[in-house]
Amino acid sequence: MEARLIEIEIKLSYAEDTLDVLNRTVFRQQEQIEQLRQLVVRLANQLQDMAPPERRGLEEERPPHY
């Protein structure tokens, strides 16, 4: 019975260690996701700033003699 209890405690210790590693991994990934999200927003804003102004359709433009 005691050997079985020791085996369960060992398995629990490994499970706790694995859970801790997974938690740290998820935390780092969440930080990376947030950094990438911010980068995408900045790049989208830069791209928008670089885009030429929208052109009007021919029907909206005034003829040169007006």
- DSSP class of residue 64 equals T
Over the stretch 21-36, which tens digit does the pLDDT of each residue have? Answer: 999 999 999 999 999 9
The domain locations on the chain are 2-44
Per-residue burial over 10-35, b = 16 or more CB atoms within 10 Å of its CB, e = otherwise:
eeeeeeeeeeeeeeeeeeeeeeeeee
pLDDT average, residue stretch 31-54: 92
Question: In which band, very low, low, confident or very high, does the pLDDT at 6 lie, cut at 50, 70 and 90?
Answer: very high
Residue 28 to residue 38: CA distance in whole angstroms: 15
- In this prediction the pTM is 0.63
